[in-house]
Amino acid sequence: MHDENRIARAALTRMFAPDDYVARQLVARHGAHGAYRMALRAQPLFPFWQVTAEQLSDGLDRWAPAPRELDTPVIEAQLEAIERLGGGFLVPGDEHWPVGLDDLPNPPYGLWYVGNIAQGIPAVHRSAALTGSRDSTSYGAAVATEMAHGLAQRGICVISGLAYGIDAHAHRGALAGSTGNGPATIAVAAGGLDRVYPSGNADLAAAIKADGLIISEQPIGTAPTRMRFLNRNRIIAALAGVTCVVEARWRSGALNTAHHAETIGRQVAAVPGSVHSANSAGCHRILRGNAAFLVSDAADVAEILAD
């Protein structure tokens, strides 16, 4: 049997959007279990702090679409399902909860995971996020692979998002450079962990699970969406001491990850590229704005982490 806090937080990952201000205040005031019960209308809900009755009413409308899917037996079944997939569900206070997430203004209510949790999730100062374009060039692919390999050889965990392009090259490079001392790489997914997205990275996902972890704030059965990808980026940034943009267009999701890192006081780095390459325009943009360190290899990234 699972304790009420774990059940409640598992339900909240399905019920509350990460950027729902009223939900955040509700959990802060009444705790996860109290917020869960109130959102299900199983306990009375009254205005508190700066949260008005109108805001609470609107919140109840947002949270109510599928109450039967949020009943305790259903949530317990989901917790059992993730365990059958070779994973589990972490909540704040657990031994392996990554405390770097607590630096976020909107940390996950819990983390679903599959893989080898026995090695834990490395501390922020032992982790680097590598991110960039899905349509990476041969240059970007080579830099991401070599950089991730070098970081893994130094015992630094590579955090990325399991997407095509730079993410996939970063994961593969880290796996190739693994020393066997802790996870070489961790993938942060935008959807539920009962399916791999994109499906073309299924073999890569299996290799990551064998060596490290795939994690998500989304419960099983949840499809990835554009907003969930953007929300996922803040987790990538918070798990790492530095976020390095290897290759990115002028308007790239990778720059969103870098922005989250900067917002919570993490370091940001970028790899320069050809002035003729649209895939390096985003890197040059943040370098020109003095928002990032210029890096060219794993040694540069490791030096930033060591400062």
CATH of the domain at 236: 3.40.50.450
3-class secondary-structure state, position 133: coil
pLDDT tens track for 217-257 = 999 999 999 999 999 999 999 999 999 999 999 988 899 99
Q: What are 83's strand-pairing partners?
A: none
Can you give the pLDDT at residue 65? 64
Q: Is the pLDDT of residue 5 over 70?
A: yes
Can you give the pLDDT at residue 69? 61
- Phi-psi region for residue 230, left (φ > 0), alpha (ψ -120 to 50) or beta? alpha
Can you give the pLDDT at residue 247? 97
Can you give the pLDDT at residue 296? 97
Query: In 10 A of CB 115, how many CB atoms?
Result: 24
Q: Is the pLDDT of residue 67 over 60?
A: no
Mean pLDDT of the chain: 94
Q: Is the pLDDT of residue 194 over 90?
A: yes
Can you give the pLDDT at residue 66? 58
**Containing structural domain, residue 32:** 4-84
3-class secondary-structure state, position 185: strand
Chain mean position to CA 122: 14
The gap between the terminal CA atoms of the chain, to the nearest Å, is: 44
Give which of 5, 2, 170, 18 is closest to 93, Cα–Cα. 5
| 100 within a domain of the structure (yes/no) | no
pTM over cut 0.85: yes
Can you give the pLDDT at residue 252? 85
- Same domain for 141 and 59: no
- Phi-psi region for residue 208, left (φ > 0), alpha (ψ -120 to 50) or beta? alpha
* ∠ CA 274-277-283, rounded to 5°: 75
| 103 within a domain of the structure (yes/no) | no
- Same domain for 132 and 77: no
Q: Is the pLDDT of residue 17 over 60?
A: yes
* Cα(132)–Cα(121) distance, integer angstroms: 22
Q: What is the mean pLDDT of residues 195-218?
A: 96
3-class secondary-structure state, position 276: coil
- Same domain for 259 and 189: yes
| 232 within a domain of the structure (yes/no) | yes
Q: Is the pLDDT of residue 192 over 60?
A: yes
| 111 within a domain of the structure (yes/no) | no
| 96 within a domain of the structure (yes/no) | no
- Same domain for 137 and 69: no
| 251 within a domain of the structure (yes/no) | yes
- Same domain for 162 and 43: no
| 142 within a domain of the structure (yes/no) | yes
Instruction: Give, in order, the Cα–Cα distances in Å from 34 to each of 5, 12, 97, 124, 145.
Output: 9, 11, 22, 31, 46
Q: Is the pLDDT of residue 286 over 90?
A: yes
